[in-house]
Amino acid sequence: MRNIQPHRFSTLIEPPNKTPTSKPFFLPIPHRTIPEPRGQDLDFICVAHRHVINSHWEKLLPLSTSLTPFRLKHLLLALQNDHVSSLKLSTWVLKHNPSSHTLDTHSILLHTLSKHRQFKTTQKFLTQTLSSHPPHTLFDALLFSYRLCNSSSPLVFDSLFKTLAHTNKFRHATHIYTLMKEHGFSPTVQSCNAFLSSLLRLRRADIALAFYREIRRRSCVSPNVYTLNMIIRAYCMLGEVQKGFDMLEKMMDMGLSPNVVSFNTLISGYCNKGLFGLALKVKSLMVENGVQPNVVTFNTLINGFCKERKLHEANRVFNEMKVANVDPSVVTYNTLLNGYGQVGDSEMGVRVYEEMMRNGLKADILTYNALILGLCKDGKTKKAAGFVRELDKENLVPNASTFSALITGQCVRNNSERAFLIYRSMVRSGCSPNGQTFQMLISAFCKNEDFDGAVQVLRDMLGRLMSPDLSTMSELCDGLCRCGKNQLALALCSEMEVA
């Protein structure tokens, strides 16, 4: 039995241009035969085959107890050119005599389905088979039955590779790719794209790039726009946005036309690094190449500017968006609301919210949380409370961010008692405060010289395996020492060390 071995892909950025001196060596495909049916086996197969092709399932039912794996193999081999009947028979067998459907019989069915390009059905049966058999065992079974089936197709191995990629089993997928390569089977660009997508979902951009270099080195797959978009994304995930841009240029050199995803990925990469000038240049470049910016393009730029608290620039992009006749989405408005909320500009936040309502978009909990935060940071807790009441009308449930925003408002107003009551309500609601919420409460109690309250919150915080930062702890200890509670301050420091 094969064990999964780690496979190392090439670390070269691009494969060197070498003239091969010899053809690559592939492992031979084994040739396995099965005995010809005789006597009662032959009679059974002939009768059962006639019932299947005529869809006489009621006549087949009495034969179900006599069905063996050997007989089922020959039935499926006889039905290789009729994938519909093969599938119906397999489904019938799984219902009436599942023990006769072995890994070998599944393999014959999978060859038949793949040969007839029934890829969705193939993937369904592959998933079922993989639930009870390791991938390398299934690969071996498919390999041994490859020459046995007249209807065999290399696409069955590609389907196995793709199925593993779709289910995020990238180690198994890598192993199957290696076995395919050893036997001379090449993956399709679609399965390679599925594998790359799986790796990026798992945040393994490094392996995605290594795999891309591998397939380019082997020249076994011609990448398409979707392939290269994922490579651009992989570079951006690693913070190597310039290499992503270089890949965009290579894409055009290869005769492929970048699409809106290509440009949006680069814009996002530059925004994440705070390189907004380059992000805007990419936006201009996309227009020059006949690709119109979409809502994702504008949302990405707005989000980037809001994260850096460049609200003027974010608003300018927002206005450009409307001039370009691209309708802002809920995400657009929520991003702006969050940006204005973070800087405490509740007036602009309310304006954005009102425009959102005029445009007929439905606010969600993120909308209200951003709006409430902006009002609370501005000290407008009564107006914020009004929006909290609206949550009930909209069938929205306050979450941890809602409570945290309300606590912020009370802390801004130095109302530590009210903040503590909201904190208690938050815990009763099943929401978990984060470290920032605890630190705000501790600081608010300290400012009001309510050190007992501050200590209680600190102990709650430590009980949740969180610790305050140095400045918060210093503020509390300094206050305790001023009140003559030096021993309590020392005790808290000891608790912090233990935590």
- The residues spanned by each domain of the chain are 206-291, 293-397, 399-498
Per-residue DSSP letters for 227-266? HHHHHHHHHHHTT-HHHHHHHHHHHHHTTPPP-HHHHHHH
Ranking 13-27, 102-116, 122-136 by mean pLDDT, the lowest is 13-27
Rounded mean pLDDT of 164-183?
A: 93
Say whether pLDDT at 118 is over 90: yes
Say whether pLDDT at 144 is over 50: yes
202 CB neighbour count, 10 Å cutoff: 12
pLDDT in tens, 237-270: 999 999 999 999 999 999 999 999 999 999 999 9
Top pLDDT among 163 and 2 is at 163
Rounded to an integer, what distance in angstroms lies between the CA atom of residue 433 and that of residue 427? 8
DSSP-assigned letter for residue 257: P
pLDDT on residue 6: 42
pLDDT on residue 498: 54
Ranking 18-32, 99-113, 369-383 by mean pLDDT, the lowest is 18-32
pLDDT on residue 323: 95
- Residue 467: pLDDT band by 50, 70, 90 thresholds? confident
pLDDT on residue 11: 41
Say whether pLDDT at 17 is over 60: no
Same CATH fold assignment for domains 206-291 and 293-397: yes
pLDDT on residue 497: 64
- Please tell me the class of the 293-397 domain: mainly alpha
Per-residue DSSP letters for 180-227? HHHTTPPPPHHHHHHHHHHHHHTT-HHHHHHHHHHHHHHT-----HHH
pLDDT on residue 151: 63
pLDDT on residue 218: 85
pLDDT on residue 385: 92
What are the start-end ranges of the H helices in 99-204? 103-115, 119-130, 135-144, 155-166, 170-182, 189-201
Hunting for tokens 């790039």 — which residue is that? 209
**Assessment of whether the complete model's pTM goes beyond 0.75:** yes
pLDDT on residue 47: 94
pLDDT on residue 103: 94
- Residue 5: pLDDT band by 50, 70, 90 thresholds? very low
Q: Using DSSP, state whether 6 is helix, strand or coil.
A: coil
Rounded mean pLDDT of 270-282?
A: 96
- Residue 143: pLDDT band by 50, 70, 90 thresholds? very high
pLDDT on residue 499: 54
Rounded mean pLDDT of 109-132?
A: 93
Top pLDDT among 7 and 187 is at 187
User: Measuring CA to CA, which residue among 193, 265, 198, 258 is closest to residue 223?
Assistant: 193
pLDDT, the chain, mean: 90
CA 314 to chain centre: 27
- Residue 22: pLDDT band by 50, 70, 90 thresholds? low
Rounded mean pLDDT of 369-382?
A: 92
Question: Which CATH number, 1.25.40.10, 3.50.50.60, 3.40.50.300, 3.40.50.1820, labels domain 399-498?
Answer: 1.25.40.10
pLDDT on residue 3: 44
**% of the chain residues with pLDDT over 90:** 74
Task: Output the CATH code of domain 206-291.
Answer: 1.25.40.10
Say whether pLDDT at 318 is over 70: yes
